[in-house]
Protein backbone atom coordinates (compact mmCIF):
# COMPACT_ATOMS: atom_id res chain seq x y z
CA UNK A 1 0.00 0.00 0.00
CA UNK A 2 2.86 2.38 0.74
CA UNK A 3 4.15 2.08 -2.80
CA UNK A 4 0.86 2.79 -4.55
CA UNK A 5 1.02 5.94 -6.64
CA UNK A 6 -1.21 8.85 -5.69
CA UNK A 7 -3.22 10.75 -8.32
CA UNK A 8 -1.13 13.35 -10.09
CA UNK A 9 2.20 12.02 -8.88
CA UNK A 10 4.95 11.42 -11.43
CA UNK A 11 7.18 8.40 -11.75
CA UNK A 12 10.07 10.26 -10.07
CA UNK A 13 7.93 10.85 -6.98
CA UNK A 14 6.90 7.21 -6.84
CA UNK A 15 10.49 6.03 -7.19
CA UNK A 16 11.68 8.39 -4.46
CA UNK A 17 8.86 7.13 -2.25
CA UNK A 18 10.02 3.57 -2.90
CA UNK A 19 13.58 4.48 -1.94
CA UNK A 20 12.36 6.05 1.30
CA UNK A 21 10.13 3.11 2.22
CA UNK A 22 12.85 0.52 1.64
CA UNK A 23 15.36 2.69 3.54
CA UNK A 24 12.99 2.92 6.50
CA UNK A 25 12.39 -0.83 6.40
CA UNK A 26 16.09 -1.56 6.85
CA UNK A 27 16.33 0.88 9.78
CA UNK A 28 13.30 -0.73 11.42
CA UNK A 29 15.19 -4.04 11.34
CA UNK A 30 17.98 -2.35 13.30
CA UNK A 31 15.68 -0.67 15.84
CA UNK A 32 13.92 -3.93 16.68
CA UNK A 33 17.04 -5.52 18.17
CA UNK A 34 19.05 -2.82 20.02
CA UNK A 35 20.45 -5.24 22.59
CA UNK A 36 21.79 -7.67 19.99
CA UNK A 37 23.27 -4.71 18.10
CA UNK A 38 25.26 -3.64 21.15
CA UNK A 39 26.29 -7.21 21.96
CA UNK A 40 27.62 -7.64 18.42
CA UNK A 41 30.01 -4.75 19.09
CA UNK A 42 31.58 -6.32 22.18
CA UNK A 43 33.83 -8.77 20.33
CA UNK A 44 35.35 -6.12 17.98
CA UNK A 45 35.78 -3.78 20.97
CA UNK A 46 37.61 -6.44 22.98
CA UNK A 47 39.64 -7.27 19.88
CA UNK A 48 40.66 -3.64 19.61
CA UNK A 49 41.47 -3.17 23.29
CA UNK A 50 43.11 -6.50 24.11
CA UNK A 51 45.02 -7.12 20.87
CA UNK A 52 45.89 -3.45 20.41
CA UNK A 53 47.11 -2.98 23.98
CA UNK A 54 48.97 -6.30 23.96
CA UNK A 55 50.82 -5.52 20.74
CA UNK A 56 51.63 -2.03 22.04
CA UNK A 57 53.38 -3.65 24.98
CA UNK A 58 55.07 -6.31 22.84
CA UNK A 59 56.50 -3.73 20.42
CA UNK A 60 57.32 -1.14 23.07
CA UNK A 61 54.84 1.42 21.74
CA UNK A 62 53.81 2.77 25.12
CA UNK A 63 55.03 6.35 25.02
CA UNK A 64 53.09 9.41 23.95
CA UNK A 65 55.57 10.05 21.12
CA UNK A 66 55.19 6.64 19.53
CA UNK A 67 52.54 5.26 17.22
CA UNK A 68 49.67 3.55 19.03
CA UNK A 69 48.86 0.17 17.50
CA UNK A 70 45.25 0.59 18.62
CA UNK A 71 45.01 3.62 16.34
CA UNK A 72 46.40 1.50 13.53
CA UNK A 73 43.92 -1.27 14.32
CA UNK A 74 40.85 0.99 14.54
CA UNK A 75 40.11 1.22 10.76
CA UNK A 76 40.30 -2.56 10.45
CA UNK A 77 37.98 -3.04 13.41
CA UNK A 78 35.54 -0.48 11.97
CA UNK A 79 35.57 -2.44 8.71
CA UNK A 80 34.76 -5.64 10.59
CA UNK A 81 31.94 -3.89 12.48
CA UNK A 82 30.20 -2.48 9.40
CA UNK A 83 30.62 -5.66 7.38
CA UNK A 84 28.09 -7.60 9.44
CA UNK A 85 25.02 -5.32 9.03
CA UNK A 86 25.95 -4.69 5.40
CA UNK A 87 26.06 -8.43 4.67
CA UNK A 88 22.82 -8.91 6.61
CA UNK A 89 21.15 -6.71 4.03
CA UNK A 90 21.99 -9.31 1.42
CA UNK A 91 20.66 -12.04 3.71
CA UNK A 92 17.38 -10.15 4.03
CA UNK A 93 17.05 -9.98 0.23
CA UNK A 94 17.52 -13.74 -0.06
CA UNK A 95 15.06 -14.29 2.81
CA UNK A 96 12.48 -11.95 1.25
CA UNK A 97 12.64 -14.07 -1.90
CA UNK A 98 11.52 -17.13 0.08
CA UNK A 99 9.04 -15.24 2.28
CA UNK A 100 7.18 -13.81 -0.70
CA UNK A 101 7.92 -10.15 -0.04
CA UNK A 102 10.18 -10.04 -3.08
CA UNK A 103 7.24 -10.93 -5.31
CA UNK A 104 5.28 -8.00 -3.89
CA UNK A 105 8.22 -5.71 -4.59
CA UNK A 106 8.37 -6.84 -8.20
CA UNK A 107 4.78 -5.86 -8.96
CA UNK A 108 5.13 -2.38 -7.44
CA UNK A 109 4.74 0.43 -10.03
CA UNK A 110 8.31 1.64 -9.50
CA UNK A 111 11.71 0.93 -10.98
CA UNK A 112 13.50 -2.00 -9.44
CA UNK A 113 16.63 0.13 -9.29
CA UNK A 114 14.79 2.37 -6.84
CA UNK A 115 13.88 -0.63 -4.66
CA UNK A 116 17.45 -1.89 -4.54
CA UNK A 117 18.78 1.63 -3.97
CA UNK A 118 16.51 2.04 -0.96
CA UNK A 119 17.59 -1.33 0.44
CA UNK A 120 21.27 -0.53 -0.03
CA UNK A 121 20.95 2.97 1.42
CA UNK A 122 19.11 1.56 4.42
CA UNK A 123 21.73 -1.12 4.93
CA UNK A 124 24.52 1.45 4.54
CA UNK A 125 22.88 3.78 7.06
CA UNK A 126 22.44 0.95 9.58
CA UNK A 127 26.06 -0.16 9.10
CA UNK A 128 27.31 3.42 9.54
CA UNK A 129 25.36 3.64 12.81
CA UNK A 130 27.21 0.52 13.95
CA UNK A 131 30.48 2.27 13.15
CA UNK A 132 29.46 5.37 15.12
CA UNK A 133 28.51 3.20 18.11
CA UNK A 134 31.91 1.51 17.91
CA UNK A 135 33.67 4.88 17.98
CA UNK A 136 31.56 5.93 20.98
CA UNK A 137 32.39 2.74 22.89
CA UNK A 138 36.11 3.04 22.14
CA UNK A 139 36.41 6.70 23.14
CA UNK A 140 36.41 6.14 26.96
CA UNK A 141 39.42 3.83 26.54
CA UNK A 142 41.56 6.54 24.97
CA UNK A 143 40.82 5.65 21.34
CA UNK A 144 39.03 8.86 20.44
CA UNK A 145 38.65 10.55 17.06
CA UNK A 146 39.46 14.26 16.88
CA UNK A 147 36.58 16.49 15.83
CA UNK A 148 38.21 17.60 12.53
CA UNK A 149 38.64 13.93 11.59
CA UNK A 150 35.09 12.89 12.49
CA UNK A 151 33.18 14.37 9.53
CA UNK A 152 35.44 12.96 6.76
CA UNK A 153 35.57 9.62 8.60
CA UNK A 154 31.77 9.38 8.70
CA UNK A 155 31.53 10.24 5.00
CA UNK A 156 34.08 7.54 4.22
CA UNK A 157 32.16 5.05 6.36
CA UNK A 158 28.96 5.83 4.46
CA UNK A 159 30.63 5.24 1.08
CA UNK A 160 32.32 2.06 2.36
CA UNK A 161 29.10 0.63 3.78
CA UNK A 162 27.22 1.50 0.60
CA UNK A 163 29.84 -0.45 -1.34
CA UNK A 164 29.47 -3.43 0.99
CA UNK A 165 25.67 -3.43 0.79
CA UNK A 166 25.72 -3.06 -3.01
CA UNK A 167 28.09 -6.03 -3.33
CA UNK A 168 25.92 -7.96 -0.88
CA UNK A 169 22.82 -7.12 -2.92
CA UNK A 170 24.55 -8.25 -6.11
CA UNK A 171 25.39 -11.59 -4.49
CA UNK A 172 21.88 -11.87 -3.00
CA UNK A 173 20.03 -11.44 -6.30
CA UNK A 174 22.34 -14.01 -7.88
CA UNK A 175 22.03 -16.69 -5.17
CA UNK A 176 18.72 -18.32 -4.31
CA UNK A 177 19.47 -20.15 -1.06
CA UNK A 178 20.42 -18.51 2.24
CA UNK A 179 22.84 -21.31 3.13
CA UNK A 180 24.70 -20.88 -0.16
CA UNK A 181 24.81 -17.09 0.27
CA UNK A 182 26.22 -17.35 3.80
CA UNK A 183 28.79 -19.92 2.70
CA UNK A 184 29.98 -17.78 -0.21
CA UNK A 185 30.21 -14.66 1.95
CA UNK A 186 31.99 -16.54 4.72
CA UNK A 187 34.60 -17.92 2.34
CA UNK A 188 35.15 -14.54 0.67
CA UNK A 189 35.40 -12.40 3.80
CA UNK A 190 38.43 -14.07 5.40
CA UNK A 191 40.97 -13.46 2.57
CA UNK A 192 39.50 -10.02 1.88
CA UNK A 193 40.01 -8.90 5.49
CA UNK A 194 43.50 -10.34 5.84
CA UNK A 195 44.65 -8.90 2.50
CA UNK A 196 43.34 -5.41 3.31
CA UNK A 197 46.03 -4.29 5.76
CA UNK A 198 43.49 -4.29 8.59
CA UNK A 199 45.87 -5.92 11.06
CA UNK A 200 49.34 -5.49 9.58
CA UNK A 201 51.02 -3.38 6.85
CA UNK A 202 50.47 -4.75 3.36
CA UNK A 203 54.04 -3.77 2.49
CA UNK A 204 55.18 -6.80 4.50
CA UNK A 205 53.33 -9.25 2.27
CA UNK A 206 55.13 -11.22 -0.48
CA UNK A 207 55.28 -9.55 -3.86
CA UNK A 208 53.06 -12.15 -5.52
CA UNK A 209 50.20 -11.05 -3.24
CA UNK A 210 50.52 -7.37 -4.20
CA UNK A 211 48.07 -7.72 -7.09
CA UNK A 212 45.48 -9.30 -4.78
CA UNK A 213 45.90 -6.43 -2.31
CA UNK A 214 45.35 -3.82 -5.04
CA UNK A 215 42.29 -5.68 -6.35
CA UNK A 216 40.80 -5.91 -2.85
CA UNK A 217 38.23 -3.14 -2.23
CA UNK A 218 38.73 -3.47 1.53
CA UNK A 219 42.34 -2.33 1.05
CA UNK A 220 41.14 1.08 -0.14
CA UNK A 221 38.56 1.31 2.65
CA UNK A 222 41.06 0.55 5.40
CA UNK A 223 43.80 2.75 3.94
CA UNK A 224 41.46 5.74 3.47
CA UNK A 225 40.23 5.60 7.08
CA UNK A 226 43.73 5.02 8.46
CA UNK A 227 45.11 8.07 6.67
CA UNK A 228 42.13 10.15 7.78
CA UNK A 229 42.82 9.16 11.39
CA UNK A 230 46.57 9.67 11.04
CA UNK A 231 48.32 11.94 13.51
CA UNK A 232 51.97 12.82 13.99
CA UNK A 233 52.31 9.68 16.11
CA UNK A 234 50.96 7.31 13.49
CA UNK A 235 52.81 8.54 10.39
CA UNK A 236 55.00 5.43 10.40
CA UNK A 237 51.89 3.31 9.97
CA UNK A 238 50.59 5.43 7.10
CA UNK A 239 53.89 5.29 5.21
CA UNK A 240 53.50 1.51 4.90
CA UNK A 241 50.00 1.78 3.42
CA UNK A 242 48.55 1.10 -0.03
CA UNK A 243 50.65 2.11 -3.03
CA UNK A 244 50.34 1.94 -6.80
CA UNK A 245 53.79 1.23 -8.26
CA UNK A 246 55.38 3.18 -5.42
CA UNK A 247 52.82 6.03 -5.58
CA UNK A 248 50.37 6.51 -2.73
CA UNK A 249 46.93 7.52 -4.11
CA UNK A 250 45.16 10.38 -2.30
CA UNK A 251 42.29 9.58 0.05
CA UNK A 252 39.80 11.27 -2.27
CA UNK A 253 40.80 8.94 -5.11
CA UNK A 254 40.51 5.88 -2.86
CA UNK A 255 37.01 6.89 -1.78
CA UNK A 256 36.12 7.59 -5.42
CA UNK A 257 37.19 4.05 -6.34
CA UNK A 258 34.91 2.68 -3.61
CA UNK A 259 32.02 4.88 -4.76
CA UNK A 260 32.47 3.78 -8.38
CA UNK A 261 32.51 0.15 -7.30
CA UNK A 262 29.32 0.70 -5.28
CA UNK A 263 27.52 2.23 -8.27
CA UNK A 264 28.75 -0.51 -10.59
CA UNK A 265 27.62 -3.25 -8.20
CA UNK A 266 24.26 -1.55 -7.71
CA UNK A 267 23.72 -1.25 -11.46
CA UNK A 268 24.66 -4.92 -11.98
CA UNK A 269 22.36 -5.98 -9.12
CA UNK A 270 19.48 -3.95 -10.55
CA UNK A 271 20.01 -5.52 -13.97
CA UNK A 272 19.99 -8.98 -12.43
CA UNK A 273 17.01 -8.07 -10.22
CA UNK A 274 15.00 -6.94 -13.26
CA UNK A 275 15.21 -10.48 -14.64
CA UNK A 276 13.76 -12.00 -11.48
CA UNK A 277 10.30 -13.29 -11.96
The answer to the question of residue 161 being in a domain is: yes
Please indicate, yes or no, if residue 1 is contained in any of the structural domains: no
Q: Is residue 220 assigned to a domain?
A: yes
Confirm whether 2 is domain-assigned.
Answer: no
Interval 230-253: pLDDT, tens: 754 445 555 556 778 777 888 999
CA 153: distance to chain centroid?
A: 13
Calculate what percentage of the chain has a pLDDT beyond 70.
Answer: 83
Residue 168 domain-assigned?
yes
Structural domain includes residue 193: yes
pLDDT exceeds 90 at position 259: yes
Nearest 10 degrees: Cα torsion 178, 182, 185, 189: 160
Query: Can you give the residue range of the structural domain that contains 103?
Result: 11-273
Query: pLDDT tens digit string along 155-176?
Result: 999 999 999 999 988 888 888 7
Q: What 3 state SS string does the chain have?
A: CCCCCCCCCCHHHHHHHHHHHHHHHHHHHHHCCHHHHHHHHHHHHHHHHHHHHHHHHHHCCCCCCCCCHHHHHHHHHHHHHHHHHHHHHHHHHHHHHHHCHHHHHHCCCCCHHHHHHHHHHHHHHHHHHHHHHHHHHHHHHCCCCCHHHHHHHHHHHHHHHHHHHHHHHHHHHHCCCHHHHHHHHHHHHHHHHHCCCCCCCHHHCCHHHHHHHHHCHHHHHHHHHHHHCCCHHHHHHHHCCCCECCECCCHHHHHHHHHHHHHHHHHHHHHHHCCCC
The per-residue pLDDT for range 62-75, each reduced to its tens digit, is 544 445 778 888 88
pTM summary value: 0.83
The 10s digit of each residue's pLDDT in 96-141 is 777 666 667 767 777 878 888 888 898 899 889 989 988 988 888 8
Is there a domain that residue 4 lies in? no
Looking at the structure of the chain, the number of domains it has is: 1
The pLDDT, as a whole number, for residue 59 is 60
Does 142 map to a domain? yes
Angle, helices 147-174/69-99, rounded to nearest 10 degrees: 30
In this predicted structure, which of 46-50, 53-57, 178-182, 191-195 has the lowest mean pLDDT? 53-57
Amino acid sequence: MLLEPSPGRGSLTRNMCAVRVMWQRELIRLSRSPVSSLVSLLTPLLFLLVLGTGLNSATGRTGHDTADYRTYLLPGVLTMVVLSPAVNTGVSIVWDRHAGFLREMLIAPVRRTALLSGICLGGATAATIYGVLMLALAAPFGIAVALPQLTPLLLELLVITLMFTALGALAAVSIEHIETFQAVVGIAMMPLVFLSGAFFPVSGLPGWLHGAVLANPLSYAVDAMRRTLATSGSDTFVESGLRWAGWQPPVVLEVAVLGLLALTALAAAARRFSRTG
